[in-house]
Homo-oligomer: A and B are copies of this chain.
Amino acid sequence: MRVAQVRDVAALAGVSPATVSNALNHPAKVSPTTLARIQAAIDELGYIRNDAARQLRAGTNRAIGMVVLDIANPFFTDVARGVEDVLLGERRPLIMGNSAQEPHRETNYLDLFEQQRMDGVLITPVADVLDRLRRLRDRGTSVVLVDRMTRAKEFSSVTIDDTMGGRIATEHLLEIGRRRIAFIGGPVNLSQIKDRLASARAAVEAHGSGELSFLETETMNADAGRAGAEQLLALPTTKRPDAIFAANDLVALGVLQALTLRGVRVPDDVAIVGYDDIDFASSAAIPLSSVRQPARTMGSTAATLLLGVIADPAASEVEHVTLKPELIVRRSTSG
């Protein structure tokens, strides 16, 4: 069955194709009566415009591409929700791709977005894709970075203040009387980890008493948390930490599980603070204190920033928004 086209609609409505196009894209230019006739014809034929043709002629694709770092991590799906919130209002489709932290997947999606001549792209980069992003921009696709910043600062970005996050978590542990704090997470070449760790160290130092140890992991999932906890439990009792600061909630949940299974009381023996405040943090057997990252807000902010750049790529300044995290205290640090 042949699919209805503009000229079919035009024929049925008794006007020319150009008028149909005007009706769809510039309704003000068409008289109300013909507008109604055209709409009726569209409904009758079930006409749906061919977006490829529209795109080719218009030279622009209204869709926004997003490369998510890890779709299995609730933090990033929350970010995506925030982006959707904004784009839906603008009637712009969101094309989401999952790089799963693999550079070749990331490249794949960038290729796709480049071929599609997208209006804009949001990305949390895995590999070094700066040159790719520059090329995208040169071709007319606006780019905003999410949860990452480049040194050169040539692209707008939205990040969350990790220095503050590390500080408030550590200060909280110190305030409830803990002195031997262990930080679990990694790898340390992630700027997020670096910042959280550094500010945790600074907080301990500023406090005067207490000490901070660091247990680096390769990944940040529950397995890493379990392994890290086991390692700490192997220490002689006097050396054992009385508080653990996990680099994210997945790690914290792993830690919590390992401690529980070994009969260590949380928070009495060991307090735990996580990071991200994913849904599961509050659903844990012992609800987890966590540094809440405004993930959804980050998504909506990034989308808004991107729309601004798209609206006027030349004029708009490069802008870096830093959002503030917030400590959510729950049972795991307040026996």
Contact = CB atoms under 8 A, between A and B. Distances in A.
Contacts of A172: none
A138 B1 contact: yes
**Among A51, A55, A109, which residue has the most Cβ atoms of chain B within 10 A?**
A51
Interface string A46-62: 10111111011000010
Interface in A61-98: 61, 63, 71-72, 74, 77-78, 80-81, 84, 88, 93-98
A111 B164 CA distance: 43
A61 B222 CA distance: 40
A115 interface: yes
A1 B313 CA distance: 14
Nearest to A105: B88
A88 B108 contact: yes
Interface in A116-146: 116-117, 135, 138-140
A256 interface: yes
Contacts of A135: 46
Contact of A56 (B50, B61, B78): B50
A12 B84 CA distance: 43
Interface size class of A (residues with CB under 8 A): 35 or more
A72 to B, nearest CB: 5
Contact of A284 (B48, B138, B139, B285): B285
A201 B78 CA distance: 37
Contact of A283 (B88, B105, B253): B253
A115 to B, nearest CB: 4
A161 to B, nearest CB: 25
Interface string A208-225: 000000000000011000
Contacts of A77: 71-72, 77
Interface string A10-50: 00000000000000000000000000000000000010111
A114 interface: yes
17 contacts: A1-B138, A48-B139, A51-B117, A52-B53, A52-B61, A52-B117, A53-B56, A56-B56, A63-B112, A71-B71, A72-B78, A77-B77, A93-B112, A94-B97, A256-B285, A257-B284, A260-B286
